[in-house]
Amino acid sequence: MSLLQVRNLKTYFPVTGGVFGRIIGNIKAVDEVSLNVEEQEIVSVVGESGCGKTTLGLSILGLVPVTSGEIAFSDDVVDTGKPASWARHRRNYQIIFQDPFTSLNPRHTIFDILSEPMLLHGICSRRDVRGECVRLMQQVGLSPDYLDRFPHAFSGGQRQRIAIARAIGVRPAMIVCDEVVSALDVSVQAQIIQLLLDLKREMKLSLFFIAHDLSLVKSISDRIYVMYLGKIVESARPAGLFSAPRHPYTAALLRSIPTLDRSRKPQILGGEVPSPAKVPPGCVFKGRCPRAQEKCNVSHPPLERESDRRQVACYYPL
Mean pLDDT of 225-250: 96
CB half-sphere exposure, 223, CA atoms < 13 A: 18
Q: Report, at the CATH architecture level, how domain 2-81+212-258+266-312 is classified.
A: 3-Layer(aba) Sandwich (3.40)
pLDDT, residue 266, reads: 64
Q: Give, as one character, the DSSP assignment of residue 301.
A: P
What tens digit of pLDDT does each residue of 88-116 get?
999 999 999 998 888 999 999 999 999 99
Q: Are 236 and 43 in contact (CB under 8 A)?
A: no
Q: What is the pLDDT of residues 160-206, one digit of tens each?
A: 999 999 999 999 999 999 999 988 888 899 999 999 999 999 999 99
Cα–Cα distance, 179 to 213 (Å, whole number):
9
Find residue 35's DSSP bridge partners.
Answer: 6
User: CA nearest 90: which of 129, 120, 130?
Assistant: 120
Q: Which of 296, 298, 177 is closest to 233 using CA atoms?
A: 296
- Average pLDDT (19-28) is 88
H helix runs in the chain, sequence order: 53-60, 83-87, 110-120, 129-139, 156-168, 186-203, 214-220, 238-243, 248-255
Give the predicted TM-score (pTM) of the model: 0.94
Beta strands in the chain (DSSP E): 2-17, 22-38, 42-46, 68-73, 76-77, 93-96, 174-178, 206-211, 223-228, 231-236, 304-307, 310-312
The average pLDDT across 118-124 equals 94
Section 150-168 average pLDDT: 96
pLDDT at residue 258 in the model: 76
Checking DSSP bridges between strand 304-307 and strand 310-312, what pairing results, if any?
antiparallel
Domain boundary assignment for the chain: 2-81+212-258+266-312
Query: For 241-285, how does the pLDDT look when each residue is reduced to its tens digit (9 = 90+)?
Result: 999 999 999 999 998 887 777 777 666 777 788 888 888 899 999
